[in-house]
Amino acid sequence: MLVSVLDQSPVSEGSTGVDALRNTVDLARLADALGYHRYWVAEHHGGPMLASASPEALIGPIAAATTELRVGSGGVMLPHYSPLKVAETFTILAALFPGRIDLGLGRAAGTDPLTTFALQRDRRQAAPDDFPQQLAELLAYFDDNLPSDHPFARLAGTLPGRPELPEPWLLGSSLQSGIWAAQLGMPYAFADFINPAGAEIAKLYRERFEPGRLAAPRTAVAAWVLCAPSDEEARFLAASSRMTFKLLRRGELIPVPPPEKAVEFLERDGSAQSRHQRRTIIGTPEKVRAAVEELAHEYGAEEVIVVTITHDHEARRRSYELLADAFALTPRELATTGA
């Protein structure tokens, strides 16, 4: 089983987005040295908790600072973009870092409706919900198979990074994304940390898979994981994200609080489990490994992509170090690289 990283560039209380972005590059270097397979960066807009607003801007510096990791987006929220612009950007990245660039594509806005509207270039009316058409156009640029009478047909041959191309993935947390991935023969990554009821969707993806970009289905599952030397410390560190997401559901956006503050808040707020509870895998390395393997088996996944949020960057680094040890990842001897 492959083990990878999804980084949302969390902004801790008392720090800045600058700190969060530098921590992202630092964590990518660590993941490369520890032997993780790929490193994806997310897209979120308009909030104080996450600095990952532009994966296409982060991927280049991360790939330049690492040597072996596959690097990509988890994901680019395609409704915000022109398919041609995405195709051009990611072929440039693929040309600069051959064989290492992934293009994870999502349909969600990654933000609230007002910020979604602010991201539009044309604000005369709401943008249409035409994701399937956008996705088809984007893939056609890569494959250079737009119909000859299509008005954009000649543009596929002008992509600046050719012949290098990224590997497209479809991301999702709902049934429709699995159906599209199966129809298009694409690799599929399901966000269990958003929707913990995705095993049946992953199964449907495999059952309906039609050979296309891949000859056989390939499934990854993204999971929220926090590893510490003891269960007690893991629960303590996880309080920061629990408080953050509890307030998020109420429409209150905050940076990631220190765990002491979060524990106090959660005790005051009550310990009843929300019906919107997300699945979290927290604890000692042995406990976490067993739960991650069980999750991968549940999804029929060949790969688990781990997202971890803590207030303290060193605690996040340590979580990935402990996880790498638990899975006996093979460390890499890497040359020193520039940022």
Chain segment 232-250, per-residue pLDDT in tens = 999 999 999 999 999 988 9
Question: Is 192 part of any domain?
Answer: yes
In a domain, 207, yes or no: yes
Closest-CA residue to 101 (of 63, 61, 52, 65): 63
**Residue 235 forms part of a structural domain:** yes
The domain that contains 24 carries what CATH number? 3.20.20.30
CA–CA distance, 109 with 112 (Å, rounded to integer):
7
Angle, alpha carbons 83-180-223 (nearest 5°): 95
A 10 A CB-CB count for 160 gives: 11
Q: What is each CA distance from 323 to 38, 229, 235, 290, 313, in whole angstroms?
A: 15, 11, 16, 11, 15
Which percentage of the chain shows pLDDT scores above 90?
Answer: 87
pLDDT tens-place string over residues 116-156 = 888 888 888 888 889 999 999 999 999 999 999 999 999 99
**Beta pairing class for 303-307 and 167-172:** unpaired
According to DSSP, residue 255 is labeled: P
Least confidently predicted of 19-28, 177-186, 307-316, 329-338 = 329-338
Residue 20 lies in a domain: yes
Q: How many CA atoms lie within 13 Å of 314's alpha carbon, on the beta-carbon side?
A: 0
Query: DSSP 3-state assignment of 116?
Result: helix
155 occurs within a structural domain: yes
Tell me how far the alpha carbon of residue 195 is from its chain's centroid: 14
Give the β-pairing of 38-41 and 101-106.
unpaired
**What local confidence, expressed as pLDDT, does residue 115 receive?**
86
Residue type, 101: I
Tally the domains of the chain.
1
Report if residue 332 sits inside a domain: no
Distance CA 57, CA 89 (A): 10
Location of structure tokens 């270039």:
121
Q: Is the pLDDT of residue 284 over 90?
A: yes
Structure tokens at 303: 């790969």
DSSP three-state, residue 250:
coil
In a domain, 339, yes or no: no
To which residue do tokens 């994981």 refer? 225
Domain span at residue 85 reads 2-326
| pLDDT score of 297 more than 90 | yes
Residue 142 maps to a domain: yes
Over residues 273-283, the pLDDT tens digits come to 554 568 999 99
Say what the pLDDT of residue 211 is. Answer: 96
